[in-house]
Structure 1
Amino acid sequence: MARRDIEFDAEGVTLRGWFYPGQGASGAAPTVVMAHGFSAVKEMYLDSYAEVFSAAGLNALVFDNRNFGASDGEPRQEIDPWAQVRDYRHAITYATTLPEVDGNRIGIWGSSYSGGHVLVVAAIDRRVKAVVSQVPLVSGHDNFRALVRADFIAGFQDGFNADRLARFQGDPPAMVPVVAEDPLAPSALPTPDSWRWFTETHKLRAPSWRNEVTLRSVEMFTEYEPVSYIPYISPTPLLLLPAVNDVLTPTDLAIAAFEKAREPKKLTILPGGHFDAYVKGFEPSSTPARDWFVQHLTR
Structure 2
Amino acid sequence: MHAYTVEPLYVKSGQDVIAADFYRPKSVEKPAVILMAHGLAALRQFKLVQYAKRFVQAGYAVVLFDYRYWGGSTGRPRELVNLKAQLEDWRTMIDHLQQRKSIDSRRIVLWGTSLSGGYVLSLAAELKNIKAVMVQVPFVDGAESAKLYPLQQLPKALKLSSQDYMGSKVGMSPTTLPVVDPHRLCFLQSEDSYAGYLSIVNPDFYWSGEIPARAFFKLIRYRPILDVRKISIPVLFIAAKEDSLIPIESSRETATNIAPYVQYYEWEMQHFDIYHGQWFEKAMATQLEFLHQHVGVS
1:286, 1:205 → 2: CA distance?
24
Structure 2 counterpart of 1:52, which letter? R
Report Cα offsets for 1:20-58 as digits up to 9, x if no partner.
113531x21111000000001111111111111112211
Q: CA deviation at 1:99?
A: 2.6
Report Cα offsets for 1:220-253 as digits up to 9, x if no partner.
111211111110111x111111012111222222
SS in 2 for 1:101: coil
1:160, 1:177 → 2: CA distance?
12
- The alignment's C-alpha RMSD in Å is 1.8
Report Cα offsets for 1:188-232 as digits up to 9, x if no partner.
111233211333443x55522220010011121112111111101
1:175, 1:261 → 2: CA distance?
36
**What residue is the counterpart of 2:131 in the other structure?**
129
Cα contact 1:23–1:55 (8 A) shared by 2: no
SS in 2 for 1:260: helix
**What residue is the counterpart of 1:171 in the other structure?**
172
**What residue is the counterpart of 1:115 in the other structure?**
117
1:89, 1:206 → 2: CA distance?
29
Structure 2 counterpart of 1:10, which letter? S
Cα contact 2:176–2:212 (8 A) shared by 1: yes
**What residue is the counterpart of 2:247 in the other structure?**
250
User: Is 1:5 matched with 2:19?
Assistant: no
**Structure 1, unaligned runs of 5 or more:** none
Cα contact 1:140–1:223 (8 A) shared by 2: yes
1:261, 1:8 → 2: CA distance?
32
Match of 2:272 among 261, 270, 275: 275
1:195, 1:158 → 2: CA distance?
23
TM-score, length basis structure 2: 0.92
Cα contact 1:270–1:284 (8 A) shared by 2: no
Cα contact 2:5–2:26 (8 A) shared by 1: no
Cα contact 2:177–2:213 (8 A) shared by 1: yes
Q: CA deviation at 1:90?
A: 1.0
* Structure 1 consecutive aligned stretches of length 4 or more whose deviation exceeds 4 Å: none
SS in 1 for 2:272: helix
2:38, 2:243 → 1: CA distance?
17
TM-score, length basis structure 1: 0.92
1:10, 1:168 → 2: CA distance?
22
Question: What is the percentage of aligned positions where both structures have the same residue?
Answer: 26
Q: CA deviation at 1:168?
A: 4.0
Q: State the number of aligned residues.
A: 293
Matches within 5 A, 1:1-299: 1-22=4-25, 24-25=27-28, 27-149=29-151, 151-182=152-183, 185-202=184-201, 204-234=202-232, 236-280=233-277, 281-298=279-296
Report Cα offsets for 1:162-197 as digits up to 9, x if no partner.
334433443222111010023xx2101112332113
Structure 2 counterpart of 1:44, which letter? F
